[in-house]
Amino acid sequence: MKSNFPINSFSKIETPFYYYDISLLRKTLDSLKEELAGHDNYHVHYAVKANANRRLLNIINEYGFGADCVSGGEIEAALGAGFTPDTIVFAGVGKSDKEINLALSAGISCFNVESIPELENIDRLAKEQKKVATVALRINPNIDAHTHSYITTGLSENKFGIDMSLIDKVLDKLSELKNVKFTGLHFHIGSQITDMDAFRSLAVRINDIQEVFYRRMIVVDSINVGGGLGVDYHNPDENPVPDFHEYIETFKKYLVLRPKQHLHFELGRSIICQCGSLISRVLYVKEGVNKKFAILDAGMTDLVRPALYQAYHKIENLTSSAPVEEYDVVGPICESSDCFGKAIELNAAERGDIFALRSAGAYGEIMASRYNCRELPKAYFSDAL
């Protein structure tokens, strides 16, 4: 069965471009919101790095979610799209002075701090602005998320977070500094996590880590468990909305919250991935040795995930119902890694056919580059075609 795309509208638009299904985005946001109902102490901050398209940010903001930013630019994008500073958290292992100053001036709600030198620097800059910065400590919980090594972040070998073996030093430092105020703990173990066991392990580990703080009489106001919930890249039509219920329920069940404690989530991919597709035309069908290449006008500059992480995107030929043949689907960029998939079964393709690369809403448009002096892809929305 063919997926439901407005192919008549597509035929009039120059390719490649991103297409966002706004009703699916709303359905996804509704589903997440439903899971949070009745939990006033649960907060979601959308991870802006997954997709910072202004229109999409506006819609996510409409639902009352906050923003998780990892750069000054993302803070500006979030503010520009209407997110209020008190819902913005700022993470990242290498925050520059300029970015910290911007965040302090804007009055964001929390810096997620990853090292002692960063803590000292935020304290120094806050003092200059005569402010007290609210900080959470990003702890590296040493948990294997069982995902691709490039998107695993919660192992001791990764550059992220503070190892618990150093926590006494960090807490001593915190008690010395006057312009930072501790509010809670932050974690993020990786991305595209589909096995809830990883989140369960994180919850159980956080319970132990909390004990260390309470033994030292330190009140932890908030626990931020990061993001990382995965999506079904292989079956985007069967599973368009991720299982937020199972995800939230895992923390509800295994994470022991203290009275009045707030629980924060930073979901990116799971909110924005399935509503986006990269739409491209076939430039040429080229005969190779024992294979055929479908050469698209979209390349790794438009969607880098396959080249960067060997990621899978489902590919469909939207304009053919001819018998299925096998193709290597490639882009026009002068790199052998510019390949979207090998030996992909597709309805027989010819020049001009329109292909959809599915589940491209997250880490797609935002990662586009101008390599080869190519234009950046444009974006179109289902409710404004």
Of residues 161-190, those binding ligand PLP (CB under 6 A)? 188
Residue closer to ligand PLP (CB basis): 70 or 257: 70
Question: Which residue bears the tokens 């063919």?
Answer: 2
Known catalytic residues are 334
In whole angstroms, give the CA distance from residue 275 to residue 236: 9
Site for ligand PLP contains 60 (CB under 6 A): no
Nearest of 91, 84, 23 to residue 59 by alpha carbon: 23
Residues 48, 91, 255, 368: which binds ligand PLP (CB under 6 A)? 91
| Min CB(214)–ligand PLP separation in Å | 24
| Min CB(354)–ligand PLP separation in Å | 28
Residues 16, 154, 226, 236: which binds ligand PLP (CB under 6 A)? 226
Q: Could you say which DSSP state residue 217 is in? A: T
Structure tokens at 70: 């990892």
Task: Count the neighbouring beta carbons within 10 Å of the beta carbon of residue 98.
Answer: 10
| Min CB(296)–ligand PLP separation in Å | 26
Residues 67, 70, 133, 311: which binds ligand PLP (CB under 6 A)? 70
In whole angstroms, give the CA distance from residue 123 to residue 131: 9
Residues 21, 243, 266, 302: which binds ligand PLP (CB under 6 A)? 266
Q: Count residues contacting ligand PLP (CB under 6 A)?
A: 17
Q: Is 371 annotated as a binding residue?
A: no
Q: Is 269 annotated as a binding residue?
A: yes
Residues 36, 44, 48, 50: which binds ligand PLP (CB under 6 A)? 50
Q: Is 335 annotated as a binding residue?
A: yes
Q: Which stretch binds ligand PLP (CB under 6 A): 118-126, 221-229, 328-336, 350-358?
A: 221-229
Residue closer to ligand PLP (CB basis): 109 or 270: 270
Type of residue found at 300: M
At 216, phi and psi to the nearest 5? -90, 15
Residues 16, 141, 154, 227: which binds ligand PLP (CB under 6 A)? 227
Task: Count the neighbouring beta carbons within 10 Å of the beta carbon of residue 213.
Answer: 17
Q: Is 266 annotated as a binding residue?
A: yes
- DSSP letters, 230-290, are ---SS-TTT--S--HHHHHHHHHHH--PPTT-EEEE---HHHHSTTEEEEEEEEEEEE-SS
Structure tokens at 288: 């190779």
Q: Which stretch binds ligand PLP (CB under 6 A): 17-25, 263-271, 278-286, 298-306?
A: 263-271
Q: Which stretch binds ligand PLP (CB under 6 A): 124-132, 168-176, 265-273, 331-339?
A: 265-273
Residue closer to ligand PLP (CB basis): 78 or 295: 78
In whole angstroms, give the CA distance from residue 22 to residue 147: 28
For residue 16, say if its preceding peptide bond is cis, omega within 30 degrees of 0: yes
Residue closer to ligand PLP (CB basis): 47 or 311: 47
CA distances from residue 180 to 134, 177, 261 in whole angstroms, order as listed: 6, 6, 20
Residues 19, 25, 49, 139: which binds ligand PLP (CB under 6 A)? 49
In whole angstroms, give the CA distance from residue 137 to residue 120: 13
Q: Which stretch binds ligand PLP (CB under 6 A): 59-67, 125-133, 225-233, 248-256?
A: 225-233
In whole angstroms, give the CA distance from residue 49 to residue 74: 7
Strands 42-47 and 110-113: unpaired
**Given the rule CB under 6 A, which residues bind ligand PLP?**
47, 49-50, 68, 70, 91, 188, 191, 226-229, 266-270
Annotated binding residues for pyridoxal 5'-phosphate: 228, 266-269, 363
Annotated binding residues: 228, 266-269, 305, 309, 335, 363
